[in-house]
Structure formats: structure tokens, C-alpha cells
Amino acid sequence: MDKFVIEGGKTLKGEIKVSGSKNATLPILAATLLTDGVCEIRNIPKLRDTLTMCKLLRSLGKTVEIGPHRVIISGSVNNHVADYKLVSTMRGSFCVLGPLLAKLGKAKVSMPGGCVIGVRPIDLHMKGISALGVKSNFEGGYVYAAANRLKGAEMYLGGTFGSSVLATANVMMAASLAHGETVIESAACEPEIEELGNFLSSMGAKINGQGTPRIVINGVRKLNGISYKMGSDRIEAGTFLLLAAAAKSDILVKDAQYNQLLALIDKLQSIGVDVHKEGADIRVKCKKTLRPANIVTHPHPGFPTDLQAQYMALMAITPGVSIITDRVFPDRFMHIAELNRMGAAIRRDAGVAIVEGVKKLYGAPVMASDLRASAALVIAGLVAHGKTEIYRIYHLDRGYEDLDGKLTNIGAKVYREKE
């Protein structure tokens, strides 16, 4: 396994480009199971997760050609079993359930299991497909599901901690080929769902309301192959905005979608960061001492849970006290202990993290526990005094394309070495 070695305290300046959206790419790749036509998807990020999804599609019978930031998917799905060895490595691959049911009328998909950021059940997935007429049961770690013909239905997909992005995606894809009209109330509003809806519509699906709490889908008999360009990754862009603020830098974040980051941008501006739109890019300037501020994560358009850890790294070096609450994944605080190893003063009290800003962080060996926690440790390492070693960076490789190369281009001293 590789590790990152970061020499902190370097001046950062320049341009950093955002890659294609990982969280939108995974369900869109799954959606290609719905057609026998050829699908070309461009601006694909080169990540462990996208490669895993391509392996899964191949195992289901599709032909997948992988090029530089592009995949071409063709052929027919001929296998309804999504194997444990692939699904267990990436929760997002569970979204093949809906397309398999729509295309083959049956599916055997491995349970994705839990995660270090907290338990993420599949109850909303099963509720949604059950409303479409699917019968299912659980055995040996797999979901067995089947239906003679999917039928449109009205359903409510709200959960304890809000809507589910993957459950909404699964139902949208299944309903695209169902008979009749499907109405999803309390649908996830994340930009990734809007992009999936746009992709399906380009294939010939009849979908309205994607990106809102109410999505209406009128099933069609057939979907077609298309050529499609992925939008940029809002979480990667948000990570770079927070990095620039922490490093007191002047950085242009290229291909960043301003309107998808309003909750973060509003918070950064309120604490003293200069953030403004420059065409299709976002400029971040931060030269002064910032003010602390509390955040509470919520489903979109609220503050993203996927930026909570990175925001905590910024607050760790911001004078004063800030309180961070995660309403989406209340247990997503594994990064606290590692940030404290670097000199941060953070404590957890039930479902909140209380951050007392310190003057300086210090380099230390730290362990990445999940994808976004890893990004928080990178931010901390870049602003820390001395050398930081981050272990288990395979988490980073799941969601950030060529992160060490991008950071090097703006002046960071980041090296990838074998553990």
C-alpha cells in the first residue's frame, strides 16, 4: 500500500482542476445496464471506484472499453448476480439492483454492509422497489429480488436522516422501464440525482422533477445508447475551497459548479474567506485570520456531510470554538482522533464535535479511516509544521483523481511512497 508524505507550511498558489463527479458517475454507469445500445461517457474520473464499477458491469455481461477519462459500454446484460467480491468494496455498486430488475426481471445483489462512517441500511431501497411490484428476500448476505413486470406506483422515500441518494437512483432507474407512472415523494435532491435524471432522459426516459423532492417517471419500453459528458465533482471542488482557506492561499478552482456549493460558499464568506465566481471557475482568496462558525450537515441543498471532515480541519486552526453536527451520518467522526494527533483540540460530546482552534498543527503519522477523513488529513498536513505521513491512502484514490499531482502543481510538497 502507498502512503502520502507531506511537508507542511508551503505557499500554495495557482490553478487546480476539478475532475468528473464520482458520485454521479457510479449510478450513471449502472444505468447503462438498461440499454443494449452503445453508451459513451466522457469526463469520467480515473478512480478506484469507477474501475470497480466497470469490473462489475463486465461481470454482468457488458463490454466495457476504458480510455483516458472515457468509457464505452456496449452489449447486453446476461447475468443477474452482482457478486460480493465487487459490491463489498464499494457501496455505490448496490445501485445495479434497479437496472437489473428493470432489464431482466430478477436480481441477486450482495448486501453492501456497513461503513466506518456509520451504518447505512438499505430499507429505503427495498421499500422503493417493493412499491414497484418486486418480491424480495435476504439470504446468505444477498438480496434476492424478482418481478414479472415492474408497475409504476406512488411512494414516499423519506428516512430517519433524510432522503437516500442511492435509493432514489435505484427507483428512478427501475421505474424508467416500468409500466405506468411512478411518483417519488421525498426524493433525494442532490445534484447527482439531477444528473442521473438528465442522463436517463437523454436515453429516452420520461422523467420530470429530478433535483426536487418530487420526481415523476413515466415508464417507456426501451432506452437508447447515447454519448454523454459528466459534470464536475462538487465534493472535490469543495475540498479545494476549504484547502485554499486553510492554507491562506489564492487559488483558482477550475470547472467548479458554484451553484452546487452555495451552502459551503455562504459559510466560507461568513467567516472571512473571499470566494467568488469567475466564469466556470471559483476563485478563493484568504489572507486574514478567520472567525469560527458552527455547521450542521443536511441533505442537499444543506451543508454536505461529505465536506464535514474537511471543514473540521479548517476550524481546527481557526481561533475560537466551533461546533460541528452531522445530521446525515451522526457517527462520522473517526477523523477527530487523527487530527488531535497533529495537535488539534477537538472533543466529541454525543452527536457533536466541539473544536477549539489552535495556533498551529504539527506533522505526525496518521491513519486514513475513510475517503473524506483522508482529505481532511491532507488539508491538515498541508498547513502543519513539519512532516505528515498519511497511511492507507487507498481511501483517497477511491474519490480524488491524481490528488498528489494536482497539489504539487500549486506548490505543495506531497510525495507518494510505499508504506
Task: Examine the domain organization and report whether 144 and 270 are in the same domain.
Answer: no
What's the pLDDT score for residue 121? 77
Distance of CA 74 to CAs 43, 216, 240, Å?
18, 28, 35
Q: Which residue has the cell 489564492?
A: 250
Task: Examine the domain organization and report whether 310 and 383 are in the same domain.
Answer: yes
Task: Examine the domain organization and report whether 203 and 62 are in the same domain.
Answer: yes
Task: Examine the domain organization and report whether 192 and 247 are in the same domain.
Answer: no
Task: Examine the domain organization and report whether 387 and 301 are in the same domain.
Answer: yes
What's the pLDDT score for residue 115? 53
Task: Examine the domain organization and report whether 244 and 175 are in the same domain.
Answer: no
Pick the catalytic residue: 39, 115, 189, 286? 115
Task: Examine the domain organization and report whether 245 and 194 are in the same domain.
Answer: no
- pLDDT digits (tens), the chain, 419 positions: 899 999 999 999 999 999 999 999 999 999 999 999 999 999 999 999 999 999 999 999 999 999 999 999 999 999 999 988 888 878 788 999 999 999 999 999 998 754 555 556 789 999 999 999 999 999 998 999 999 999 999 999 998 878 899 999 999 999 999 999 999 999 999 999 999 999 999 999 999 999 999 999 999 999 999 999 999 999 999 999 999 999 999 999 999 999 999 999 999 999 999 999 999 999 999 988 999 999 999 999 999 999 999 999 999 999 999 999 999 988 899 999 999 999 999 999 988 999 999 999 999 999 999 999 999 999 999 999 999 999 999 999 999 999 999 999 999 999 999 98
Domain holding 117: CATH number? 3.65.10.10
Q: Which of residues 180, 196, 229 is at a domain's end?
A: 229
Q: Which of residues 206, 229, 252 is at a domain's end?
A: 229
**For the chain, what is the HEC assignment?**
CEEEEEECCCCCEEEEECCECHHHHHHHHHHHHHCCCCEEEECCCCCHHHHHHHHHHHHCCCEEEEECCEEEEECCCCCCEECHHHHCCCHHHHHHHHHHHHHHCEEEEECCCCCCCCCCCCHHHHHHHHHCCCEEEEECCEEEEECCCCECCEEECEECCEECHHHHHHHHHHHCCCECEEEEECCCCCHHHHHHHHHHHHHCCEEECCCCCEEEEECCCCCCCCEEECCECHHHHHHHHHHHHHCCCEEEEECCCHHHCHHHHHHHHHCCCEEEEECCEEEEECCCCCCCCCEEECCCCCECHHHHHHHHHHHCCCCCEEEEEECCCCCCCCHHHHHHHCCCEEEEECCEEEEECCCCCECCEEECCCHHHHHHHHHHHHHCECEEEEECCHHHHHHCCCHHHHHHHCCCEEEEEEC
**Does 54 participate in catalysis according to the annotation?**
no
What's the pLDDT score for residue 117? 57
Task: Examine the domain organization and report whether 197 and 315 are in the same domain.
Answer: no
What CA–CA distance (Å, rounded) separates 39 from 35? 9
What CA–CA distance (Å, rounded) separates 41 from 72? 6
Is the overall model pTM greater than 0.75, yes or no? Answer: yes
Annotate 266-282 with b (16+ C-beta within 10 A) or e (fewer).
Answer: ebbeebebebeeeeebb
Task: Examine the domain organization and report whether 209 and 307 are in the same domain.
Answer: no
Task: Examine the domain organization and report whether 399 and 281 are in the same domain.
Answer: yes
Q: Which of residues 183, 210, 229 is at a domain's end?
A: 229
**Total domains, the chain:** 2
Task: Examine the domain organization and report whether 223 and 238 are in the same domain.
Answer: no
What's the pLDDT score for residue 114? 46
Task: Examine the domain organization and report whether 277 and 342 are in the same domain.
Answer: yes
What domain range is 104 assigned to? Answer: 22-229
